[in-house]
Amino acid sequence: MGQDNTANRSYGSRRFEARIVNQRVRELLDAGDENTTGYDDAWASHRYVEIFADSMTEAQERLDDDYPVEAGFRITAIIELRIRD
Q: How far apart are CA 62 and CA 68, in angstroms?
A: 10
The per-residue pLDDT of the chain, averaged, comes to 89
Supply the pLDDT for residue 15. Answer: 94
β-partners of residue 18 are 49, 78
Whole-structure pTM value: 0.80
Q: Is the pLDDT of residue 48 over 90?
A: yes
Contacts of 79 (CB under 8 A, 6+ apart): 16, 17
Q: Is the pLDDT of residue 33 over 80?
A: yes
1 confidence band (pLDDT: 50, 70, 90):
very low
CATH architecture of 14-81: Roll (3.10)
